[in-house]
């Protein structure tokens, strides 16, 4: 595998991670299968297009706007799913699917339902020399930013009080509530954080994977594959699964282009057969 292949695998893998980390956070901490995750990515792509993220100021503005947008959409999802917590995961999944269809149609109405082309902002639009090969600088920049996001997430979830509170509510919400933690706050906070990650991914990855028709479902598939492979709520597992899936995609596209999706299916089925207990135990 050449250096370009390794960089591609890392870029695709970290792209998967940034998108899937929000879903795995929501699923692992709240036990909610948020089917709106793909549409939230589209919202990020729309933001990048709307605020002209192909200029340096527009890019900074879009990244900044991603945070309040993510918090607003996440807050809405949390408000819709919180009253349904006593009615099982199916009611919550159907509600998020309803929100996803409504959001997807609103974005399609705003953009005319076409692809939203996106270019990197000028300093990152250059092509650089990577061990004798030409390689887009934006992808290397994306790898660096995604690595910082991964490290930051791990730090927040493992070493900060906020992470401990989220894990406490995920383990035993009633016990956590009896110590003074409000589960509804954690519910809203986790949804807002997970959704913000997906919107941010939509802005950052727009030049690599622009928003367009069908992208929401495609991203939902990728995110689900990562969650199934890595284990729900397991950020380190998600990172390992993302890099593995990125490597399979990068190699598959070059070596076996027609078989690349089949390889992912085989990966998922093998994971389900080899470690069903882990997946079942964490979500039962």
Partner 1 sequence: MRRRNLARPAALIVAVLAVPFVADAYATTVAARILALGLLSVAVHQLSARPHLASLGHGAYFGAGAYVTAVLDHAGMHLGPVHLAAGAATGAAAAGVAAVGLARLRGLGYVLASLTVGLLAATIAVSSRTVTGGSDGISAGPPVLWPGTGRLQGIGPTYLWIAAIVIAAGLLLAAHARSPLAIVLIGIGDAEQRMRSIGYPVGRVLWTAHVISGATAATAGVLWMHATGYIAPADLGLSTAAVALAAATIADQRGLIATIAATGVLVLARDVATSYLPPAGFGPLWLGVLLLALAYAPLARRLRAPREATV
**Contacts with partner 1, residue ranges (CB under 8 A):** 27, 31, 33, 35, 80, 83-84, 87, 89-95, 97-102, 104-106, 109, 214, 217-218, 220-221, 224-225, 227-228, 232, 258, 260-262, 264-265, 268-269, 271-273, 276-277, 279-280, 282-284
Helix (H) or strand (E) holding 147: helix 137-159
HSE (CB half, 13 Å, CA atoms) of 89?
11
Residues 6+ apart with CB under 8 A from 64: none
CA 216 to chain CA centroid, nearest Å:
11
Q: Minimum Å distance from CB 109 to partner 1?
A: 7
Please say which residue, 141 or 278, places its beta carbon nearer to partner 1.
278
Please say which residue, 34 or 195, places its beta carbon nearer to partner 1.
34
Kindly report the CA angle at 266 between 232 and 246, in degrees rounded to 5? 65
Q: Is 34 left (phi over 0), alpha (psi -120 to 50) or beta?
A: beta
DSSP labels for 218-266?
Answer: HHHHHHHHHHHHH-TT-HHHHHHHHHHHHHHHHHHHHH-GGGHHHHHHH
Q: Minimum Å distance from CB 37 to partner 1?
A: 11
Please say which residue, 112 or 180, places its beta carbon nearer to partner 1.
112
Within 10 angstroms of residue 56's Cβ, the number of other Cβ atoms is: 12
Q: Minimum Å distance from CB 9 to partner 1?
A: 19
Q: Minimum Å distance from CB 268 to partner 1?
A: 6
Residues in the chain: 284
Q: Minimum Å distance from CB 89 to partner 1?
A: 5
Please say which residue, 37 or 139, places its beta carbon nearer to partner 1.
37
Please say which residue, 75 or 141, places its beta carbon nearer to partner 1.
75
Q: Minimum Å distance from CB 31 to partner 1?
A: 6
Please say which residue, 149 or 244, places its beta carbon nearer to partner 1.
244
Residues 6+ apart with CB under 8 A from 131: 2, 3, 4
Please say which residue, 30 or 203, places its beta carbon nearer to partner 1.
30
Residues 6+ apart with CB under 8 A from 161: none
Q: Minimum Å distance from CB 259 to partner 1?
A: 9
């Amino acid at each position: 595998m050449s250096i370009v292949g390794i960089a591609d695998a890392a870029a695709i893998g970290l792209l998967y991670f940034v998108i899937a980390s929000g879903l795995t956070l929501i699923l692992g901490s709240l036990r909610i299968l948020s089917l709106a995750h793909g549409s939230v990515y589209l919202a990020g792509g729309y933001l990048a297009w709307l605020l002209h993220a192909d200029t340096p100021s527009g890019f900074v503005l879009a990244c900044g706007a991603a945070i309040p947008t993510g918090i607003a959409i996440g807050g809405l999802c949390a408000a819709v799913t919180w009253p349904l917590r006593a009615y099982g995961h199916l009611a919550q999944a159907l509600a998020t699917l309803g929100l996803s269809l409504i959001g997807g149609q609103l974005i399609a109405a705003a953009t005319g339902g076409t692809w939203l082309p996106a270019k990197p902002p000028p300093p990152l639009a250059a092509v650089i020399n990577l061990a004798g090969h030409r390689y887009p600088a934006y992808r290397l920049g994306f790898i660096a930013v995604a690595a910082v996001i991964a490290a930051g997430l791990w730090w927040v979830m493992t070493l900060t009080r906020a992470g401990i509170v989220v894990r406490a509510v995920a383990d035993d919400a009633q016990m956590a509530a009896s110590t003074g933690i409000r589960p509804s706050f954690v519910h809203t906070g986790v949804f807002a954080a997970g959704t913000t990650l997906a919107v941010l991914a939509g802005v950052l990855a727009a030049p690599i994977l622009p928003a367009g028709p069908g992208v929401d479902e495609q991203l939902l598939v990728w995110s689900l594959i990562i969650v199934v492979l890595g284990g729900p709520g397991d950020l380190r597992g998600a990172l390992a699964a993302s890099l593995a899936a990125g490597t399979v995609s990068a190699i598959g596209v070059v070596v076996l282009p027609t078989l690349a999706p089949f390889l992912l299916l085989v990966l998922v089925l093998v994971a389900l057969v080899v470690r069903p207990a882990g997946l079942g135990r964490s979500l039962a």
